[in-house]
Chain A
Amino acid sequence: MSQNYNHNRENEMKLTTKHALAVLSAVSLVALTATSAVAKDNRTIGVSIPAATHGWTGGVVYHAEQAAQEIEAAFPHINVVVKTSPSATAQVSALEDLSVGQDLDALVILPFTSEELTGPVERVKESGTFITVVDRGLTDPAIQDLYVAGDNIAVGANTAQWLAEKLDNEGQIVVLRGIPTVIDDERIQGFTDVMEDTNIEILDIQYANWNQDQAFTLMQDYLAKYPQIDAVWANDDDMLLGVLEAIKQSGRTEIQYALGGNGMKDVIELVMANDAMTPISTPYPPSMIKTAIYMTAAQFAGQAPMRGNFKLDAPLITPENADQFYFPDSPF
């Protein structure tokens, strides 16, 4: 803008000379090529994510901000704008704000809900923006240029395989579910599918809404209801902390394993310390937003083409590799 303004002022001055037209066209031509060269160099990546309302989204915000700082420091011509929104409606507005304020070269979005965000993201794409979708897919996958997500089925399945092996395919276990969502359904499905091929009996599955307090209460009730429990799968590390407290209080000793998922730092610390009851966790890491932002930036930094679907695996977090998944400064 200011360049154009200066350019106009310059023009006015030149107009007073006798060679007005010739000089004007020459100057404006130089100015135009200069501006377009600058525009080509500077890139803006918009990042739209849910606000930090619980542990996992807290981690997403942390990693998005880290990625923004690191990329801006490494590549001064790339500008990363992070916007958090507390609800799906707010995220739709945030998308409008992001795309009205500046020309977005790329948008990295972790949509609140698939249905509500599909239309608005499509409109952003119409102006030529590169679209990276993280975690929750849009209803129309054709909109996205890049898709980065964790594997919820693998989170359940890998945990189940490890547990089945440790229990020699025998025993009785209880399971805690999160909030009724696709994420929760997939994890439970991955877990129960593996368990069906074993002699392990799932005594009970109930919702505890990814909430520590409710997990504590539910585990107390499980302990009252079942005299013999060999293992617990809490499906999420936040809930696992509540479960562990309930087990500790009960003084019950037959429970061999209590496992979670997601890779919360408190639980990674348990894994690092070779805890007997919680020797592993399974990542569904909030850092996937960082992976996505880096992949999106790569094509602007080094012209590395980056399109397609990228599914982060859910390898077991063990004492050997735990430091890769440990972020002591992250809130999650």
Chain B
Amino acid sequence: MGEEKIMTSATTEMAISKVPRRIRWASLGPFIALAVVLLVGTMLNSNFATGTNIANVVTRSAFIAIIAVGATFVISSRCLDLSVGSMMAFVTGIMILTMNQLEPSMGANAIIVGAVVGLLVGTACGLLNGLIVTVGKIDPFIVTLGTMGIFRALITWMSDGGSIPMDRALREPYRPVYFGDLLGIPIPVVITLLVALVGAFILYRTKYGRRCMAVGSNADVARFSGVSVAKVRTIAFGVQGLCVGIAAICYIPRLGAATPTTGQLWELQVITAVVIGGTLLRGGRARIWGTIAGALILEVIANLMVLSNMVSEYLVAAVQGVIIILAMLAHRFIK
């Protein structure tokens, strides 16, 4: 008990000492960048700032944002998960198959069972990644590169390379989860906000959050202060998996199908969102709200590329790359 207290106060001090005043300014970086992008968008195209367009963009950034909240846990504990996109496809596949199986006997309630199954399968996939990394002591990059291939192959196999469509009878009852709104706020946005709130609470206000930062900034020091590095990291991967499950719940009602291309390359968008948001790729510092801003920035840029006529369709990806690098450089200079 005594040891635990010392350790806690030690990590608290570490966390505090890592947030001196001038970095506070830098942590506003992603929000300033988002404001700039929004401003530019409004000036470039009159259709940009319309309610429908903003609602569309914010709603579809939800998947990346939710997964990126999980990735903030993993990355701040100095790990990396490349499998999230494939895992997402795999989880949606399992969910749809479960719901289709149960629909004849349960009707629309099959959606609830499917959602629970999605959360469980997602968490299990995340924990699997985590256990291979921590128990197997293998670099997370390689582990999740491996599971990325495994999940992708599983969804391809499950769908015979085609698609796994959701039963027609489930489409209408499930549709509002993506297309509906709560007091005017689209449901996926509400879910994203909840996930971010809980994520921020855990990372900033709980013992686990402080341990996560301690492990991320210096695993050896954390270990000497009595923190189980393996446990912290395994849980972080579990949280990542859970977030993938939540994202899958919001994703399925949009198109009602899982295909081998579902979630393709999302891992890169997720990592980009996290890093734009101010979380350190080398661990030890997490910015949940920055991550959300990062996900929004990516989606807004993609939206602007289509709305404005300035960029040739062949060069869209290049311009996006340049903007991301510029945002990171600006971040550095604000510091």
Residues of A within 8 A of B (CB): 51-55, 57-59, 61-62, 177, 180, 204-207, 210-213, 216-218, 220-222, 224-225, 238, 241-242, 245, 249-250, 266, 330-332
Contact = CB atoms under 8 A, between A and B. Distances in A.
Given A211-B264, A220-B56, A238-B259, A55 B162 contact: yes
A217 B259 CA distance: 16
Contact of A216 (B53, B254, B259): B254
A58 B160 CA distance: 6
A213 B313 contact: no
Contacts of B272: none
Nearest to A249: B179
A220 B48 CA distance: 12
A331 B302 contact: no
A207 B316 contact: yes
Contacts of A210: 261
Contacts of B262: 213
A277 to B, nearest CB: 17
Nearest to B307: A225
A172 to B, nearest CB: 15
15 contacts: A54-B260, A57-B161, A58-B159, A59-B161, A220-B56, A221-B56, A221-B306, A224-B48, A224-B52, A238-B163, A241-B257, A245-B255, A266-B163, A266-B165, A330-B162
B206 interface: no
B45 interface: yes
Interface in B230-275: 254-255, 257, 259-262, 264
Contact of A58 (B162, B257, B264, B306): B162
Residue in B161, B165, B260 whose Cβ sees the most chain A Cβ within 10 Å: B161
A207 B313 contact: yes
Counting from the closest, the 5 A-B pairs by CB-CB distance are: A52-B161, A331-B162, A58-B161, A331-B160, A221-B306
Residue in A177, A224, A245, A249 whose Cβ sees the most chain B Cβ within 10 Å: A224
Given A52-B161, A62-B160, A205-B313, A211 B50 contact: no
B259 A212 contact: yes
A62 B156 CA distance: 13
Is the interface on chain B under 10, 10 to 19, 20 to 34, or 35 or more residues? 20 to 34
A255 to B, nearest CB: 15
A212 B45 CA distance: 26
A211 B162 contact: no
Contacts of B225: none
Given A52-B156, A59-B162, A205-B313, A241 B255 contact: yes
Contacts of A57: 161
A217 B60 CA distance: 8
A212 B261 contact: yes
B161 A55 contact: yes
B303 interface: yes
A225 B162 contact: no
A54 B254 contact: no
B333 interface: no
Given A205-B313, A212-B259, 17 more contacts: A52-B260, A53-B260, A54-B259, A61-B160, A62-B161, A62-B162, A180-B314, A206-B313, A207-B313, A211-B261, A212-B255, A212-B257, A216-B60, A216-B255, A221-B306, A224-B48, A331-B162
Contact of A224 (B56, B254, B255, B261): B56
Interface in B152-175: 156, 159-163, 165
A317 to B, nearest CB: 18
B165 to A, nearest CB: 7
Nearest to A245: B255
A204 B309 CA distance: 9
B224 to A, nearest CB: 46
Contact of A53 (B156, B254, B313): B156
Nearest to A221: B306
B71 to A, nearest CB: 19
Interface in B277-335: 302-303, 306-307, 313-314, 316
